[in-house]
Amino acid sequence: MNTADLGLPVDVPSTALFTDQYELTMLQAALKAGTAERRSVFEVFTRRLPEGRRYGVVAGTGRVLDAVENFRFDAGVLGFLRERNIVDEATLEWLASYRFSGDVWGYPEGEVYFPGSPIMRVEGSFAEGVLLETVILSILNHDSAIAAAASRMSSAAGHRPLIEMGARRTHELAAVAASRAAYVGGFASTSDLAAGFRYNIPTVGTSAHAFTLLHDRERDAFQAQVNSLGRNTTLLVDTYDVAEAVRTAVEIAGPELGAVRIDSGDLLLVAHRVRQQLDELGATATKIIVTSDLDEYAIASLAAAPVDAYGVGTQLVTGSGHPTASMVYKLVARAESDDPKAPLVPVAKKSSGGKTSIGGRKWAARRLDADGVAEAEVVGTGIVPPELADRQLLVELVKGGDVVAREPLDVVRDRHTAARATLPLSATQLSRGEPVIPTEYVHGRSGS
């Protein structure tokens, strides 16, 4: 299955070099040592949430599936590795036929997670799994950070829609991924056409201050826009005098004017004044959209304002202060030998400084109270307790190298809304705090 199965118009290019050099040098050494084919289990998790955050959001899973499918070493890539003498000829020969043939399990995209949650589990040979570390982490860390910020913003916005408009504040390709992650987290649309083209996200946009400044009079700019886009357009009213602009906008478009946008000033005060003026002019159905360096705190402060939608840029695409989710990709179990039936042995890094990890192939389940509210993230090895059997979180994403769980983005977005609704009410508070539910570990024998 590939992106065409969802009607997506852009194929993902080879992702084989979206990696760190030591992934390949480890492969070479393991091939020479005869350990490369040992069955191995890698897990993606985070030891802690960003400071003050109450939950994380899994985002980027669909992009990970694309990346795994397209992790191929073609002639050009192999030539580059040979020219730079990155690995030897035996390793290059092995890479030439690389196709991931293992299994991937993970939290479904849009689900929430907590410290220690096994967000993704990659199973296969050491050689196959180790190569995927960097590309998987680069996608999940970026997208999950953006989705978490988007989730906080959408929670603060309530039922008012949010517009993602941060393309000019980040790398041009990161902007497309950020739009996708923002949509997962609850945003309704994007200004970025590449995101609309690639992921079928609704796109919006009308004009900037430059269009007003182009014309001799603000009235001429408004008239030109209405003539072109219709009365239901959104007019930007803060280039000069807001009150005069609102009056002119209604004179030209009439009460059918779709919306006005405010991009500067004291948004709370200006929004109240504009709403009063619109109503007095008979434009009672005209909406007010606010932009201007918004984050979740600014959005929350406008909860009582007569605002109908928010446009968010810089703070969203930078994770609102936390541009990474700090996820890691660790080997947690490996076979005792190359024998496919050899039992798995738990392995774990032991070190000081908070970088220890827990070995063993893990499952995860979320325990709910009598009212259906989450009360604990339970992570364990071995047999799943019967009372948690129907609350398991990991789902199969790749089976024998084939993607089995690609899904439309709207399904992912709805899943996040539902998952967030099961958390304790304090999850939506913007005040700093610990994870909204604790992570409990259940130790047992390693799975085979």
* Tens-place pLDDT, residues 93-144: 999 999 999 999 999 999 999 999 999 999 999 999 999 999 999 999 999 9
- Mean pLDDT of the region 311-316: 98
Percentage above 70 pLDDT, the chain: 95
**Which of 16, 24, 130 has its CA nearest to residue 74?**
16
Q: What six digits make up the tokens of 142?
A: 């970026």
Q: Mean pLDDT throughout 182-203?
A: 97
Q: How far apart are CA 173 and CA 45, in angstroms?
A: 25
pTM, two decimals, is 0.93
pLDDT of 12 higher than 90: no
CB proximity list for 159: less than 8 A, separation 6 or greater? none
Query: Among candidates 184, 196, 189, 116, which has minimal Cα distance to 148?
Result: 184
Give the mean model confidence (pLDDT) for residues 319-341.
Answer: 93
Strands ordered across the beta sheet of 402-403: 344-346, 327-335, 39-46, 120-125, 103-106, 395-399, 402-403
Residue 219 near residue 252, CB atoms below 8 Å: yes
Nearest-5° Cα angle at 247, 242 to 248:
95
CA dist., res. 210 & res. 431, Å (int): 38
Q: How far does CA 400 lie from the centroid of its chain?
A: 26
> What is the DSSP annotation of 110-127?
T-EE-TT---EEEEEEHH
Grade residue 6 by pLDDT with cuts at 50, 70 and 90. Answer: low
Q: Among residues 166, 176, 118, which one has the least CA distance to residue 395?
A: 118
For residues 432 and 429, give the distance between their C-alpha atoms in angstroms, rounded to a whole number. 8
Identify which has the larger pLDDT, 2 or 437.
437
From residue 419, how far is each of 109, 170, 444 by CA, in Å? 11, 29, 28
Question: Cα separation of 211 and 221, whole Å?
Answer: 7
Question: Phi and psi for 10 in degrees, rounded to 5?
Answer: -125, 125
Segment 363-372, tens digit of pLDDT:
999 999 999 9
- The answer, yes or no, to whether residue 220 has pLDDT greater than 60, is yes
Q: What is the mean pLDDT of residues 411-421?
A: 98
Find tokens 């992921």 and name the residue. 199
Burial of 348 (0-12, 13-18, 19+ CB in 10 A): middle
- Name which of 329, 326, 325 is nearest 130 in CA terms: 329
* Structure token pair of residue 63: 């992009």
- Tracing tokens 């194929």 back to the chain, one arrives at 11
For 190, which DSSP code?
E
User: What is the per-residue pLDDT across 148-188, written as a single tens digit (0 to 9) for each?
Assistant: 999 999 999 999 999 999 999 999 999 999 999 999 999 99
